[in-house]
Amino acid sequence: MHIFVHMGTESNILVIDAGNTSVKVAQFIGGNLVSVTPYAFEEMKFEFGNDTKTTAVISSVLSVEKTAQIVELFENSTLITSSTSLPLNLEYTTKNTLGIDRICNAVFAATASTSDHAVVIDIGTCVKFDLIHKEKGYLGGSISPGIDLRYKSLNDYTGNLPLLSDRTSLPLLGTDTNTSIQSGVINGLKGELQEFMSQYKSEFKDLTFFVTGGDARYFDLDAKNDIFADRNLTIKGLYEIYKFNA
């Protein structure tokens, strides 16, 4: 595994975002994102085993063991961590515990935003808000459970509530147990998102929101001019880190 030693400017680069739900493999050719393919973890071994030709840039929120297995699939690979040189400062007291997905999101927002502040909202396994200042860098944020974790907690910590997964938006009033759970989870998260955004807007006047994550499409957050949705935001931020170090 190489750690940014004379990596050069290869025209064909794989950028790999290993998340909790899937491993996304993006192909950049000549600096342009041309494809993004999600894989289950086990599929990676069959698809990319012993790849000695392609440069792979990897970020992972998986276990150390699983991350190492992905890195070892490629002879020319670089694992991005919180200790990697970054194009922005991290104003975070425990930098070594800051998730690499949050760092990649922050890097992209810092690169793309023209406002004094940018907020990345990542709606996936967890719901993450991250605040970036154009000069001070990454300032911090918040983490709360995503949709599946909320459903699972209701099932795990009660005796009779079923495990649901439906993302469909519902009216406020559930008319049976399932729709009551669904309303609580989906409408509850929607209310949380709206309130957090309102608080950020009131505290930081010159502000742009960036929305990403697998469940972002269920909440229609990109309906206003100061909100930009990009499902590949983490991958693009990871590529920006590669370019900064190459």
Helix (H, G, I), strand (E, B) or coil at 171: coil
Q: Which two tokens stand for residue 202?
A: 């009131």
Q: How far is CA 214 from CA 84, 87, 116, 221, in A?
A: 26, 26, 27, 13
Q: What does the alpha-carbon distance between residue 241 and residue 112 come to, in Å, rounded to a whole number?
A: 13
> In the chain, which ranges are continuous DSSP H helix?
41-48, 64-71, 100-112, 147-156, 177-182, 188-203, 233-245
Query: Exactly one of 17, 101, 148, 230 is catalytic; which is it?
Result: 101
User: Given strand 137-145, what is the order of strands in its sheet?
Assistant: 137-145, 126-133, 117-123, 207-212, 227-229
DSSP secondary structure letter of residue 82: T
Our answer to whether residue 101 is catalytic in this structure is yes
Nearest to 26, CA basis, from 48, 57, 62, 4: 57
Q: What does the alpha-carbon distance between residue 223 and residue 87 come to, in Å, rounded to a whole number?
A: 30
Q: What does the alpha-carbon distance between residue 188 and residue 135 come to, in Å, rounded to a whole number?
A: 34
| First-residue to last-residue Cα distance in the chain | 15
Q: Which two tokens stand for residue 53?
A: 């030709």
Residues labelled catalytic: 101
